[in-house]
Structure 1
Amino acid sequence: MSKNNIRTYNTETFRDAYMQPEQKLDTILKSDFGKFFIVKVEDLIRLIKLPVPPIRSTTHTFIYLTDGEAIMTIGSETYTIVKHECLVVPAGQVYSFSSLDENHGYLCNFHNDIIIGKFGKNELLKDFEFLRVWGNPRIRLDKQTSKFVRRLLKRILLAYSETGLTNLDIIQSYFIALLCEVNRVYTPISASMQTNAVTITNRFKELLVEHAKTKQRVTDYASELNITPNHLNKAVRTITGKSPTKWIDEAIVLEAKVLLYQSRLSISEIASEVGLFDPSYFSRLFKKYEGVTPITFRKMIETS
Structure 2
Amino acid sequence: MEAKDKIKEYTIRNIINYRKLDWSISDDFLYLTDVPEIFEPFEMKPHYFAYGIINSGSIMIEVDYQNFLVDKRSLLIYRPEQNVKVITIEAGTKGMFVLFTKKFMDYLFESFFSIAPNSFLKNKFGSQVVLTEEDHSKMNTLFTRTLDFLIVSEADNERWIYSAKSILLALINESDFLVNRYIENRNSIHQPREEQIGYDFKKLVSKHYLTFRNIEFYAQELNITTNYLHKIVKSQFHQTPSEIINMALLSECKVRLSDPRDSISQIADHLEFTNIQSFSRYFKKQTGETPISFRTHHNLINP
Task: Provide TM-score, normalisation by structure 1.
Answer: 0.52
Shift of 1:117: 4.2
Correspondent of 1:194 among 159, 169, 190: 190
Hey, what does 1:296 align to over in structure 2?
none
1:31 matches 2:25 = yes
3-state secondary structure, aligned to 2:148: helix
Map of 1:233-272 to 2, 5 A cutoff? Answer: none
* 2:64 corresponding residue in structure 1: 75
Q: For 1:90, which of 37, 62, 79 is the aligned residue? A: 79
Check whether the contact 1:38–1:107 (CA below 8 A) recurs between aligned residues.
yes
Counterpart of 2:161 (choices 168, 183, 188) is 168
Across the aligned residues of Structure 1 and Structure 2, the Cα RMSD in angstroms comes to: 3.2
Number of residue equivalences: 186
Gaps of 5+ in 2: 196-303
**Equivalent residue letter for 1:181:** E
SS of the aligned residue for 1:78 comes to strand
Distance 2:139 2:158 in 1: 20
* 1:171-182 matches, cutoff 5 A: 171-182=164-175
Aligned to 1:286: none
After superposition, give the CA deviation of every residue in 1:240-270 in whole Å (9 maximum; x if it has no partner): xxxxxxxxxxxxxxxxxxxxxxxxxxxxxxx
Pairwise CA distance, 1:181: 2.7
Alpha-carbon shift at residue 127 of structure 1 (Å): 5.0
CA distance in 2, matches of 1:127, 1:143: 27
Query: Does structure 1 residue 47 correspond to structure 2 residue 38?
Result: yes
Q: 1:109 aligns with which of 68, 76, 99?
A: 99
The residue that corresponds to 1:135 in the other structure is 125
Q: Could you list the runs of 4 or more consecutive aligned residues of structure 1 that deviate by over 6 angstroms after TM superposition? A: none
Partner of 1:158: 148
CA distance in 2, matches of 1:115, 1:140: 26
Is 2:2 the partner of 1:12?
A: no
Encode CA deviations 1:75-109: one digit per residue, 9 max, x unaligned: 02111222222100111100101213241110111
Q: TM-score, normalised by structure 2?
A: 0.52
Q: What is the percentage of aligned positions where both structures have the same residue?
A: 14
CA distance in 2, matches of 1:173, 1:147: 23
Contact 1:53 1:96 (C-alpha < 8 Å) held by counterparts: yes
**Which whole-Å CA distance do the structure 2 matches of 1:81 and 1:100 have between them?**
10
| Residue matched to 2:176 | 183
Deviations 1:108-127 (A, max 9, x none): 11111343343564444125
For residue 205 of structure 1, what is the aligned residue in structure 2?
none
Q: Residue in 2 aligned with 1:274?
A: none
CA distance in 2, matches of 1:181, 1:30: 27
Q: Does 1:64 align with 2:53?
A: yes
Letter in 2 for 1:182: S
Q: Which amino acid aligns with 1:191?
A: N
Instruction: Quote the residue 2:271 is aligned against.
Output: none
Residues 117 and 141 (structure 1 numbering): CA distance in 2 closer, same or farther, change over 3 Å?
A: farther
Task: Structure 1: give runs of 5+ residues left out of the alignment.
Answer: 200-304
Distance 1:69 1:110 in 2: 23
The question of whether the paired residues in 2 share the 8 Å contact of 1:30 and 1:37 is answered with no
1:15 CA drift (Å): 3.6
